[in-house]
Amino acid sequence: RKEVEQDPGPFNVPEGATVAFNCTYSNSASQSFFWYRQDCRKEPKLLMSVYSSGNEDGRFTAQLNRASQYISLLIRDSKLSDSATYLCVVNKGGGADGLTFGKGTHLIIQP
């Protein structure tokens, strides 16, 4: 099983729609979880951290399910500017500081 697994997409979604991605991780020792966003030919940028109780930042909601080892990202009222690749990221756990990145889910918002 891959350490962090995501559906690569692409997800083609009309503007204004709600879209959700899931991500699964294999290391039960992982303690920190993030969603990063990467635009074409740009560096990854932190979108939001993911907390056990779930958290929201504007139109974005992140959820963590430790029992099933998956993380989700929900985007409401999608905008054209949300088109990007969304990377699911978990720390390596066990006191290690490195991060493991999923290969990303490609999202295309269509007008």
Interface residues toward another protein, by CB under 8 A = 32, 34, 42-46, 49, 87, 96-104
Which C-beta is closer to another protein: that of 11 or that of 34? Answer: 34
Least distance to another protein from the beta carbon of 61, Å?
A: 18
Using the CB atoms, write b or e for 62-86: b if 16+ within 10 Å: bbbeeeebebbbebeebeeebbbbb
Contact criterion met (CB below 8 Å) for 75 and 19? yes
Residue found by looking up tokens 């990145």 in the block:
101
When the beta carbons of 58 and 111 are compared against another protein, the nearer one is 58
Query: Of the two residues 40 and 67, which places its CB atom closer to another protein in the complex?
Result: 40
